[in-house]
Amino acid sequence: MSGYQAVVFDMDGVLVDSEPAFFAAVNDAIGRSGKQIAWDDYKQLLGTSVEVTRDRVIEIVGLDGDPRAHFRGFDGILIKRLSEPKEPLPGTVGALDALAERGVPYALATSSTRPWMEAVLTSAGILARFPVAVTADDLERMKPAPDIYLKAAGLLATPPERCIAVEDTIPGITSAKAAGMFAIQVRASSTALAPIEDADLVIDSLEEFPFELLDV
């Protein structure tokens, strides 16, 4: 297919290799209770909402009581980790430059909160490139529900079926497809998953972004 008119990017694992910072922050938080979660257990939570991640981590490691108590002060712990300098993933800057040069509108659709998003993109030096961004603070239902991608398409004034979504996780691909978008899985991060069956296209990095699909 071709004739797509806008692009919507996920953030963590797509633009910046920030998932290791989330993983480290989760272990910082639950480590105060003498627990740690292994990467093999944590990776199944990639792309899920903040609440789902928190509750499942507590279940997996076997902590009793209110999950929120074990994650008290988590925002500060996480923002410190996310603010550590990071390079954008390969092809990110080039893809954003090329979209801007072609006049193709693009947006961000992330399950992170807005402060987390700002910390990640600031750490990578690309915050100013995303004046249009939808975060976990803007919606009640997060991925795999389609809401976040539908809202991003609305902000771009583009029908969702004319948008390309760039994702790295199963919940993200499910969300984008449910919104009616062409869903690309990018596998450039250290936490890259095996090719996702429901993705319309799988690429190794944004250096391979299919500009030929755009109506420009």
* Mean pLDDT, range 97-103, rounded to an integer: 97
pLDDT computed for residue 113 by the predictor: 93
Is 137 labeled as catalytic in the residue annotation? no
Report the candidate in 173, 163, 161 with the shortest Cα–Cα distance to residue 6: 163
Residue 2 pLDDT > 80, yes or no? no
Q: Which of 10, 17, 147, 168 is catalytic?
A: 10
pTM over 0.85: yes
Domains of the chain and any CATH numbers: 6-17+85-213 (3.40.50.1000), 19-82 (1.10.150)
Residue 216 pLDDT > 80, yes or no? no
Tens of pLDDT, residues 160-189: 999 999 999 999 999 999 999 999 999 999
* Mean pLDDT, range 88-110, rounded to an integer: 98
CA distance 102 to 88: 21
Q: Which of 12, 17, 147, 168 is catalytic?
A: 12
Burial class (CB in 10 A: 0-12, 13-18, 19+), 201: middle
pLDDT computed for residue 201 by the predictor: 98
Pairing of strands 182-186, 106-109: unpaired
Q: Cβ(189)–Cβ(13) under 8 Å?
A: yes
Q: How confident is the model at residue 1 (pLDDT cuts 50, 70, 90)?
A: low
Q: How confident is the model at residue 10 (pLDDT cuts 50, 70, 90)?
A: very high
Q: SS3 for 154? A: helix
> What sign results for the dihedral spanned by CA atoms 189, 192, 197, 203?
positive
Residue 131 pLDDT > 90, yes or no? yes
Residue 9 pLDDT > 70, yes or no? yes
Q: How confident is the model at residue 25 (pLDDT cuts 50, 70, 90)?
A: very high
Is 17 labeled as catalytic in the residue annotation? no
